[in-house]
Amino acid sequence: MKKDLLKLLDLTGEEIIKILDVADDLKSEWKAGKKHDFPAGKTLVMIFEKNSTRTRVSFETGISQLGGHGIFLSSADSQLGRGEPIEDTARVLSRYCDCIMIRTYGQSEIEKLAQYATVPVINGLTDFAHPCQVLADLMTIREHKGKLKGLNACYIGDGNNMANSIIVGCLKVGMNVSAACPDGYHPDAKVLAFAKMAPGAKFELTNDPMQAAKNADVIFTDVWASMGQEDEAEKRKAAFDGYQLNDAIMAIANPGCMVQHCLPAHRGEEITAEVFEAHADEIFDEAENRLHAQKAVMCLLMREK
């Protein structure tokens, strides 16, 4: 695996499967009460410029379960919040810790952090990508379906960081992908360019959620207004009218179709309460698997450091 996990575009399908295999092993070990085979005393610095529940708790718990230590830094806690260049922060933290996780806005910031850091850097979320979440999603789908290759994935909603990572991750492991997004809210152009050229799997981008959901084995959705877009909430509600995951959508999917939501969910907007609760076990398996998938990433990156 490469030095960092910045976006799924950087990984091969084989590397993604390797992470999932390690995650499965770590989950089995933990459930069986076995101690992980990982060097003790590793330190993970976690930089948060965006609020978090799952990312912080899963990473902090994960490094603890591996026998290491997590340090939380908000913008207010660090000199980044006072204007220190991220390249200087990268070089300082590299002298103190074994890995850096950052949850921030611009993808360019994390790319610069990784450029100057001499320890692995993990993307906990940017406006462009959310690789750790999609690794957990793929882990969950494989647990429930027994495979990934050949399954039909559908994404309905905003062409945001989740859409970008879902499209890339699913295609790289051999899943077919249909995405339904309104005009003006399409996934990133780099992702669409990759999707058109991805070998061995089919990709479709449409404005019609019903078309995208037909014959789906798993349907993804996400909030219509992400963090930092709160002032667009009303405009987005209008734009995403008809892009709700509801009983009508589920009725045209394949029998046994899964639902995945990265959370938090806005019931009554992107997903109905009825569909959410009917698939709650899958959704909260997905949330739990953030812990195991991220432990796998940390193991692979820090062992090879």
Active-site annotation, residues: 103, 130, 133, 222, 262, 290
Task: Give CA separation, 17 vs 65, 82, 247, 296, 297, in Å.
Answer: 22, 40, 32, 11, 12
Cα separation of 226 and 179, whole Å? 18
* Helices 280-303, 54-65: crossing angle, 10 deg rounding: 50
In which element (H, E) is residue 103 found?
A: strand 99-103
120 with 42: CB under 8 angstroms? no
Beta bridge partners of 271: 245, 267
Alpha carbons 120 and 241: distance in angstroms, whole number: 41
Say which residue the tokens 């718990």 belong to.
61
